[in-house]
Every structure is written in structure tokens, then in C-alpha cells.
């Protein structure tokens, strides 16, 4: 991902998080508590200063009301079923489960497009081992890594449903 695309991604994330937080009247501290994150993590996300890892993003989306994220032809699709989640929301999911679901989703999309790991590595500029580890749910990828994957897999934008959070 080039610097311009990364900047655009971070700016989009920052603007949407700040807008939705204010829409619901949360302070940064309240949002951080709801998400199980440090208030500085929320502040950094809102300023677009650096990328968050996938776990922090998922928790932040959940605290903002997101209950479903999709990766399909035009958007990200990570669905967590009610049976896997007692409370029925993303905050109730443990980190290994979230990472495994993301990896499986990326793998299914890659296979549906008939791409090998080597071809996806070439398209994204990510190391083959990094992709394999991501698909196996062995690493917590940064958000910009996932954006690189989404773009290579034909995804043009990311939409987190239920509270109007649209990214990239």
C-alpha cells in the first residue's frame, strides 16, 4: 500500500470514528471503556496518526454499534454467528476467534478468485509467509495490511453495518 492510500485509509477511519462517537455523545474515555481499549488508542485512531491492529479495530467497531462486517465482491464480510457469541456482539468474541475468522474469510475469498498465495503475495506486496500466517489465524494483522488484501481481492470499500461506519 502506497503512502497516499495508507493516508486515505487512516483519514477515513479517523473521520468516521470521530463522527460516530460524537453522534452518540460518547467521550473518548467512554468509547475506550466500551471497547476495552486505552483512551490513547481511541485518540490515535481519531487523529489518523497510526494504524490499529485488527483486534483493536474490531473492538472499536463493536463499541460504535457494529454487529456485522462483510467481505464480498464490494465489501468486507466477517460474520460472527449468534451461536459463537453469547452476547451476540463483537465485543464478546475472544481475540483468537476474531483472528481466525478474518483469516478464513480472506482465504475463502482468495480461493473463490482462484488465486494462489504466491499470486496474492505479488498483488499485495506482502510476504508469502505473512499471508499464510494471516489465513491460518496465527497473526494479528494491521488494518492497512487488510486493506491491501481487500484491494487485491477486488474489494473496493469496507462497510461496517448498523451505525453507518464506512471505511476506505
3-state SS string for 15-45: HHHHHHHHHCCCCHHHHHHHHCCCHHHHHHH
Stronger pLDDT, 121 or 50, i.e. the higher one: 121
Does the pLDDT of residue 84 top 80, yes or no? Answer: no
Does the pLDDT of residue 60 top 50, yes or no? Answer: yes
Does the pLDDT of residue 19 top 90, yes or no? Answer: no
Cα gap 82→110, rounded to integer Å: 26
pLDDT value of residue 78: 43
36 is in which domain, residue-wise? Answer: 3-167
Q: Are 76 and 155 in contact (CB under 8 A)?
A: yes
Q: Which of these, 2, 7, 4, 8, lies nearest to 157 by C-alpha position?
A: 8
- Work out the average pLDDT over 52-69: 75
Work out the burial of residue 140: count CB atoms within 10 Å of its CB; fewer than 13 is exposed, 13-18 middle, 19 or more buried. middle
Q: What is the CATH number of the domain that holds 157?
A: 1.10.260.40
Does the pLDDT of residue 119 top 70, yes or no? Answer: yes
Is residue 90 very low, low, confident or very high in pLDDT (cuts 50, 70, 90)?
A: low
Number of structural domains, the chain? 1
Does the pLDDT of residue 161 top 80, yes or no? Answer: no
Amino acid at each position: 500500500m502506497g503512502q497516499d492510500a495508507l493516508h486515505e485509509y487512516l483519514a477515513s477511519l479517523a473521520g468516521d470514528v470521530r463522527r460516530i462517537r460524537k453522534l452518540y455523545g460518547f467521550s473518548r474515555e467512554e468509547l475506550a471503556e466500551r471497547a476495552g481499549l486505552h483512551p490513547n488508542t481511541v485518540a490515535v485512531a481519531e487523529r489518523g496518526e497510526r494504524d490499529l491492529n485488527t483486534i483493536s479495530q474490531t473492538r472499536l467497531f463493536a463499541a460504535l454499534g457494529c454487529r456485522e462486517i462483510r467481505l464480498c465482491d464490494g465489501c468486507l464480510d466477517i460474520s460472527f454467528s449468534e451461536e459463537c457469541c453469547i452476547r451476540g456482539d463483537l465485543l464478546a468474541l475472544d481475540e483468537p476467534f476474531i483472528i481466525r475468522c478474518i483469516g478464513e474469510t480472506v482465504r475463502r475469498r482468495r480461493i473463490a478468485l482462484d488465486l494462489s498465495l504466491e499470486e496474492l503475495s505479488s498483488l499485495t506486496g506482502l510476504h508469502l509467509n505473512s499471508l499464510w500466517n494471516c489465513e491460518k489465524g496465527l497473526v494479528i494483522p494491521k488494518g492497512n495490511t487488510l486493506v491491501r488484501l481487500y484491494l487485491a481481492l477486488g474489494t473496493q470499500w469496507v462497510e461496517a453495518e448498523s451505525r453507518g461506519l464506512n471505511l476506505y
